[in-house]
């Protein structure tokens, strides 16, 4: 495959958010959709977008963004449908992933807006899911073809990770059971008062517009061998008490070597999108995974999503 990078869109006239809004209005939603499908990601640079003008821009690039998803656990709300990434660990890279790919529904578009650029580093990394899939060994892709099983253990109020009361916003077991039965999730209550839940999602999906198969899952984020606290927890907790885990669809374990292969393939295909204050990145969430490089200083990136 030929090298790929997002399409940069720069001012052609006086600049400012007014020029961007005028150009988006002239382009219209159909042309914008076609351009995003072709390019997979668009970076609007030099338009000096601010928090005050962000909504006007988002209205034109993210249809139906209101109420799309609950607040992500690592984000703080700014408005009803815009969040700021919070609780970041600057020294740790966020490995690329497709937003909400572990769930039954996901946004088709994501917009990232740079409110405050970091002193150094902090680029958003994007990975073409088709390239990621093509770079994986055939036997590895075959093992994942039945899908991925995401697993959670939610404790009864004491322990690492979330309690089931917080996760489901109720203290009533019957309400939890009715909800889970309606989603097709497998579950069982544990003797210590917690609940063990698991569900199977695809490892690969077909892009609805292009018909291209893409690598689309969060194996490397949920597995203990991935970055984050999972590996440390796996040394002190039994596998059935890990707050989150992932296996093959049939429940058989995924090895550390297999996770490393996935991570290494994604790293090779990753493209960095550096940030300046006022920049905005619009990406196709099915075609592309996104992550983040380590950084120094203060980094404030706002996020909005749309179906």
pLDDT digits (tens, 9 = 90+) for 246-266: 999 999 999 999 999 999 999
Are 25 and 148 within one domain?
A: no
Are 294 and 184 within one domain?
A: no
Higher pLDDT, 81 or 61: 61
Q: Note the pLDDT of residue 85.
A: 63
Are 144 and 256 within one domain?
A: yes
Are 261 and 216 within one domain?
A: yes
Are 140 and 261 within one domain?
A: yes
pLDDT score of 79 more than 50 = no
Instruction: Answer yes or no: is 244 within a domain.
Output: yes
Instruction: List the structure tokens of 92.
Output: 């740790």
Instruction: List the structure tokens of 36.
Output: 């995003």
Are 65 and 159 within one domain?
A: no
Q: What is the CATH number of the domain that holds 32?
A: 3.60.130.10
Are 230 and 137 within one domain?
A: yes
Instruction: Answer yes or no: is 95 within a domain.
Output: no
Are 232 and 302 within one domain?
A: no
What is the domain count for the chain?
Answer: 2
Instruction: List the structure tokens of 188.
Output: 């069982």
Give the domain range for residue 64.
7-88+103-123+273-306
Instruction: Answer yes or no: is 93 within a domain.
Output: no
Are 153 and 255 within one domain?
A: yes
Are 166 and 259 within one domain?
A: yes
Question: What number of CA atoms fall less than 13 Å from residue 262's CA on the CB side?
Answer: 28
Instruction: List the structure tokens of 34.
Output: 């076609």
Are 253 and 165 within one domain?
A: yes
pTM: 0.89
Instruction: Answer yes or no: is 2 within a domain.
Output: no
Q: Would you call 96 helix, strand, or coil by DSSP?
A: strand
Q: Note the pLDDT of residue 225.
A: 84
User: How many angstroms separate the CA atoms of 131 and 81, rounded?
Assistant: 31
Instruction: Answer yes or no: is 94 within a domain.
Output: no
User: How many angstroms separate the CA atoms of 16 and 41, rounded?
Assistant: 21
Instruction: List the structure tokens of 249.
Output: 């669809």
Task: Give the confidence band of 76 by pLDDT, cuts at 50, 70, 90.
Answer: low
pLDDT digits (tens, 9 = 90+) for 207-241: 999 999 999 999 999 998 875 555 666 777 888 88
Are 47 and 160 within one domain?
A: no
């Amino acid at each position: 495959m030929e090298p790929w990078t997002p399409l940069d869109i720069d001012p052609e006239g006086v600049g400012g958010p007014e020029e961007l809004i005028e150009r988006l209005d002239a382009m219209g939603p159909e042309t914008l959709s076609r351009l995003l499908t072709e390019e997979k990601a668009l970076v609007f640079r030099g338009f000096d977008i601010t928090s005050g003008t962000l909504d006007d821009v988002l209205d034109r690039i993210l249809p139906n963004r209101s109420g799309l998803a609950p607040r992500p656990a690592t984000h703080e709300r700014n408005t009803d449908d815009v969040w700021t990434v919070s609780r970041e660990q600057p020294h740790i890279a966020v490995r690329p992933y497709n937003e909400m790919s572990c769930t039954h529904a996901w946004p088709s578009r994501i917009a990232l807006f740079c409110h405050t650029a970091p002193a150094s580093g902090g680029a958003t990394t994007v990975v073409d899911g088709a390239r990621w899939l093509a770079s994986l060994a055939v036997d590895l892709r075959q093992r994942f073809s039945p899908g991925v099983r995401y697993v959670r253990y939610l404790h009864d109020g004491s322990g690492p990770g979330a309690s089931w009361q917080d996760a489901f916003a109720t203290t009533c077991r019957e309400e939890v059971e009715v909800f889970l039965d309606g989603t097709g999730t497998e579950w069982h209550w544990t003797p210590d008062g917690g609940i063990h839940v698991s569900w199977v999602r695809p490892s690969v999906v077909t892009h609805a517009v292009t018909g291209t198969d893409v690598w689309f899952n969060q194996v490397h984020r949920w597995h203990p061998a991935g970055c984050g606290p999972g590996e440390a927890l796996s040394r002190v907790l039994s596998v059935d008490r890990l707050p989150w885990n992932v296996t093959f669809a049939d429940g058989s374990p995924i090895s550390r070597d297999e996770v490393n292969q996935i991570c290494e393939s994604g790293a090779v295909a990753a493209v960095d999108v550096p940030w300046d204050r006022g920049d905005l990145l619009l990406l196709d969430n099915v075609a592309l995974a996104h992550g983040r490089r380590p950084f120094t200083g203060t980094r404030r990136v706002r996020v909005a999503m749309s179906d």
